[in-house]
Amino acid sequence: MENNQRGFTSNIGAIAAAAGSAIGLGNIWRFPYTLGQNGGGAFLLIYIIFVIFLGVPLMMTEFAIGRRSQSNVVGAYRVLSPKHKGWMGIGILGLICGFMIYSFYSVVAGWTLNYIALSATGGFAGKDAAAVGEIFTQFTQSSYLPLITQAAFLILTGVIVVMGVQKGIEKFTKILMPILFLLMILLCVRSVTLDGASEGLKFLFKPDFNNFTATGVLSALGQAMFSLSIGMGLLVTYGSYIRKNDDLLKTSVCIAGTDTLIALLAGIAIFPAVFAFGLSPESGPSLVFITLPNVFNNMPLGMVFAILFFVLLAIAALTSTISLLEILVLWAVEELKMKRITATILISFVIFAIGAVCSLSLGSWSDFTIGGLCVFDLFDELTATYFMPIGALAFTIFFGWFYRKEEVWNELSNGGTLKAKYFKIYYFIIRYIAPLALIIVLITGALGIGN
Ligand code: PHE
């Protein structure tokens, strides 16, 4: 299994990397604003149901496909289903998804760098909520600065991917994620003790299905896929490095559980503050970047915590961008026979160009829209809400219907050495429940039925 072209070669490294890929801006930036736009508590409930009943089995499926085939997502189908080349289309969809996500994700990751600088130079000190909002708008709508921070983030990611990722990621996830976790708890405590915080908690935890729509269900599904990095085949690659005698259920539950916990903490840190400061929960991508600086302003040692928080957020984003770039580079190296360094540089340039369009679409190019969405929002919505669930659907159909049941059992139980008592439930979910649920949610959500 040693393969020098690949970044991840050890078991712990692969699991840490999968967790690092899952935890990122999706939890702290995207989850709160998507929840805010979709009515709060009802979204949370549906989200958690999706994580447990679809997220975990789907994650196991991608891991299992990777471990069985010992290959990346495109090659996996070549190995597992040599006669039906059509399945490789899923790999290609995953690649397109990777390019699109990395493009807008690197823009937001760049924002975190600017926010580190702003916090360190006292940029938010003494400002009220409106003024903090103004800082965000001015920054994201300006033409150059977001491009520079995006480029910086791409370079940082590129250098790490070229130098080899394994040790770095392991260290990052093991030491820094617990610090991020503690800091989030601290922020939660500050946020819920603000005057007027209880409204926010109600918004987050009290399901109100009156304003909840089929589109909201689709958004919750998309958020679950996005946050767990499911549906684009990235986890297939990581699966190929997980040891045969590791229980995939345990591994997946751990990753999905941690990921959801961090998203929840982000929600508890943000919504009470949103209501306490009279901000709107529906404000979209700006939500975290406006709310949290206000919380820091209201804390003793706020500046120190602000710097620490944005540094950790940048690192959480970095472990995700590394996985996004790694998957694209791996494809170029293995399928196009490129050198690792050439692939990294070329892909980073392409991403910079597409990402620049995403970034500018929030400011000077915002008049250009497709279906009412600017390019940034379009990329975000298309990938998370459509491509990833479609990719996940294809995985379930392949593993539940086309691949032999005994082989699936063999893979999950390591040829019978693991008990895998859950197998029946797992198989039932990926054969019937998951495909049906995915199809229904995709169709009703896309057509806006019941809105
Ligand atoms: N899951 C990552 C996050 O929550 C985003 C991501 C999606 C990373 C898809 C890789 C692939 O930040």
Model confidence pLDDT, tens digit, residues 366-419: 889 898 899 999 999 999 999 999 999 999 999 999 999 999 999 999 888 888
Model pLDDT, residue 4: 41
Model pLDDT, residue 220: 96
Q: How far is the CA of 189 from the centre of ligand 1 (A)?
A: 27
352 contacts 150 by C-beta, under 8 angstroms: yes
Model pLDDT, residue 72: 77
Residue whose tokens read 């990621």: 169
Q: Determine whether the shortest distance from the Cβ of 72 to ligand 1 is under 6 A.
A: no
Half-sphere exposure of 443 (CA within 13 A, CB side): 7
310 contacts 65 by C-beta, under 8 angstroms: no
- Of the residues 47, 96, 229, 385, which should be mutated to test ligand 1's pocket, given the most ligand atoms within 8 Å of the CB? 229
User: How far apart are alpha carbons 362 and 140 in whole angstroms?
Assistant: 7
Report how far Cα 225 is from the mean position of its chain's Cα atoms: 7
Model pLDDT, residue 165: 61
Q: Determine whether the shortest distance from the Cβ of 21 to ligand 1 is under 6 A.
A: yes
What confidence category does residue 150 fall into, taking pLDDT thresholds of 50, 70 and 90?
Answer: very high
pLDDT > 90? residue 28: yes
- Tell me which of 70-84, 320-334, 401-415 is least confident: 70-84
Q: Determine whether the shortest distance from the Cβ of 271 to ligand 1 is under 6 A.
A: no
Q: How far is the CA of 404 from the centre of ligand 1 (A)?
A: 30
Q: Judge residue 9's burial from the number of C-beta atoms within 10 Å of its C-beta, 0-12 exposed, 13-18 middle, 19 or more buried.
A: middle
What confidence category does residue 180 fall into, taking pLDDT thresholds of 50, 70 and 90?
Answer: confident
User: How far apart are alpha carbons 89 and 84 in whole angstroms?
Assistant: 10
Q: How far is the CA of 230 from the centre of ligand 1 (A)?
A: 8
The residue-averaged pLDDT of 35-63 equals 96
User: How far apart are alpha carbons 435 and 277 in whole angstroms?
Assistant: 42
Q: Which atom of ligand 1 is nearest to the CA of 259?
A: 4
Q: Which atom of ligand 1 is nearest to the CA of 105?
A: 5
Q: How far is the CA of 225 from the centre of ligand 1 (A)?
A: 9
Q: Which atom of ligand 1 is nearest to the CA of 388?
A: 9
The residue-averaged pLDDT of 17-26 equals 92
What confidence category does residue 446 fall into, taking pLDDT thresholds of 50, 70 and 90?
Answer: confident
Model pLDDT, residue 448: 74
User: How far apart are alpha carbons 195 and 51 in whole angstroms?
Assistant: 33
More confident residue, 13 or 373: 373
Please name every residue paired with 83 in a beta bridge, in sequence order, or none if there are none.
none
Q: How many domains does the chain divide into? A: 1
Q: Determine whether the shortest distance from the Cβ of 382 to ligand 1 is under 6 A.
A: no
What is the domain extent for residue 282?
Answer: 3-447
Q: How far is the CA of 218 from the centre of ligand 1 (A)?
A: 18
User: How far apart are alpha carbons 444 and 451 in whole angstroms?
Assistant: 9
User: How far apart are alpha carbons 270 and 202 in whole angstroms?
Assistant: 13
Model pLDDT, residue 81: 79
Q: How far is the CA of 22 from the centre of ligand 1 (A)?
A: 5
Model pLDDT, residue 75: 81
Model confidence pLDDT, tens digit, residues 266-275: 999 999 999 9
DSSP string, 390-427: HHHHHHHHIIIIIS-HHHHHHHHHTTTTS--TTHHHHH
Model pLDDT, residue 206: 95
Model confidence pLDDT, tens digit, residues 127-148: 988 899 999 999 999 989 999 9
* Mean of all residue pLDDT scores within the chain: 90
Find the CATH number of the domain harbouring 339: 1.10.4160.10
Question: CA angle, 12 as apex, 330 and 251 as ends, to 5°?
Answer: 100
251 contacts 62 by C-beta, under 8 angstroms: no
Model pLDDT, residue 2: 41
Cβ neighbours of 342 (radius 10 Å): 13
Q: Determine whether the shortest distance from the Cβ of 237 to ligand 1 is under 6 A.
A: no
Q: Determine whether the shortest distance from the Cβ of 383 to ligand 1 is under 6 A.
A: no
Look at residues 208, 201, 205, 209 and name the one whose alpha carbon lies nearest to residue 275: 201
Q: How far is the CA of 32 from the centre of ligand 1 (A)?
A: 15
Q: Atom 11 of ligand 1 has which residue's CA nearest to it?
A: 229
More confident residue, 372 or 175: 372
Question: CA angle, 26 as apex, 213 and 268 as ends, to 5°?
Answer: 75
pLDDT > 80? residue 179: yes
Q: Determine whether the shortest distance from the Cβ of 25 to ligand 1 is under 6 A.
A: yes
pLDDT > 70? residue 258: yes
